[in-house]
Amino acid sequence: MRIMKTFVTKQSDAVADRKWYVVDAEGMVLGRLATEVAHIIRGKHKAIFAPYLDAGDHVIVINADKIVLTSNKADRKFAYHHTGYPGHLRAALYRDLLKDKPEFVIEKAVKGMLPHGPLGRQMAKKLKVYSGPDHPHQAQQPVLRTLGTAPKSA
């Protein structure tokens, strides 16, 4: 009888094949974009995925200022922030955030879909969001990724 050994993913296996992807957010719905970006950052699209490791890829989101919120969420939804002082809960409409800080809107949505703890904070560093079509990561040779499709294997 032949004994099979279980493959246990190590961090060195996960880091060896990290890729960089560019995602164009123009005309995309915020939640659908955020779920797919979080999926890539977490590494769930890879065969070596392990919930205890950071096995994901880097994602660059461009055209963040052209993201879409459905069903009047821009006028009805608030982003809350507490300063730490009693009674200092701040609320900002998403309409105002999309106008002033569109990068923050996407970062907040993606970070909310990552693990909450040290591992999630480490994963969130692999997300780069820019409001225009340009980004400073050309040296990493990022691949344009259309969401809704599986990445091509190398």
- CATH code of the domain in which 120 resides: 3.90.1180.10
Residue 96 covered by a domain: yes
Residue 2 covered by a domain: no
Residue 11 covered by a domain: no
What count of other Cβ atoms lies within 10 Å of the Cβ of residue 91?
8
Handedness of CA 103, 67, 17, 112 (dihedral sign): positive
Residue 149 covered by a domain: no
User: How much of the chain exceeds pLDDT 90, in percent?
Assistant: 81
Instruction: For residue 31, give its domain range.
Output: 18-144
Residue 4 covered by a domain: no
pLDDT tens-digit profile of 24-74?
999 999 999 999 999 999 999 998 899 999 999 999 999 999 999 999 999
Q: Examine the pLDDT at 150 and tell me if it is beyond 80.
A: no
Are the beta carbons of 129 and 106 closer than 8 angstroms? yes
Residue 152 covered by a domain: no
3 state SS of 78:
strand
In this prediction the pTM is 0.89
Q: Examine the pLDDT at 137 and tell me if it is beyond 60.
A: yes
Handedness of CA 23, 28, 34, 38 (dihedral sign): negative
Which DSSP category does 134 fall into? -
- Segment among 3-7, 20-24, 130-134 with least mean pLDDT: 3-7
pLDDT at 153: 56
Residue 61 covered by a domain: yes
Q: Would you place residue 2 in the very low, low, confident or very high pLDDT band (cuts 50, 70, 90)?
A: confident
In total, how many domains does the chain have?
1
